[in-house]
Amino acid sequence: NESLFLLAPEDTSMAVLADAISWIGNLTYRPRFSSLMNLWKSAGQRTLSGVISHRTNEHWTLFRELAACEGAKDPSLGHWDERWRVTGPMLEGASVRALGEDGHASLKQYAYYGPKHWENCPHQIRLTVPSIWNNGILVSVPAACFHNEEWGANLHFNAELKHVPARFGRSERL
């Protein structure tokens, strides 16, 4: 609950903020305390350790920076961007990457707008979810429940966050 986060003692909120940035940014070490304090005290949009912080008086959203996930090490099915477990049928030539602007445009080309949770998701966050491609063609976006029917009606991929810190709950299948 965001209001509880902002009403908690500052040291507790700072610890949660550090954990959130570390997890979202896939960091080995927490951000420096001075950087966290600067982020804590500022409104608007800022970037810290590959994580974008967008804060208004009413909401605070943290999400992975697109540039940070574009360099994901393993483009194949399995563990992508060190944070996602992507599973599905093995397609020769298939790769996994962030959806990006071109993938988002492909979804619109297919006249696909997705379920309510996808429609309500901020655009910048949508761009960073894992997507499956084959020879430049968008095959699947599990977070949007999109599966390109040109590749077969039974083709189904899953994306699941892995290693979710205990304080943030368990992972959900997307």
Q: How far out from the chain centre does Cα 102 lie?
A: 17
**Segment 10-34, tens digit of pLDDT:** 888 888 889 889 888 888 888 998 9
Are 85 and 159 spatial neighbours (Cβ–Cβ below 8 Å)?
Answer: yes
Instruction: Return the higher-pLDDT residue of 17 and 4.
Output: 17
Cβ neighbours around 158 below 10 Å, total: 13
Q: Which of 171, 165, 106 is nearest to 141 (CA)?
A: 106
Q: Quote the tokens at residue 166.
A: 């205990």
pLDDT averaged over every residue in the chain: 81
Are 65 and 52 spatial neighbours (Cβ–Cβ below 8 Å)?
Answer: yes
Q: Which of 53-57, 67-71, 98-102, 120-124 has the lowest mean pLDDT?
A: 67-71
* Predicted pLDDT of residue 46: 92
**Segment 92-125, tens digit of pLDDT:** 778 888 999 999 998 888 777 777 888 888 889 9
Sign of CA dihedral 119, 124, 127, 130: negative
In 3-state terms the chain splits into helix, strand, coil percentages (rounded to 5) of 35, 25, 40
User: If you average pLDDT over residues 43-72, what whole number do you get?
Assistant: 85
Decide: pTM greater than 0.85.
Answer: no
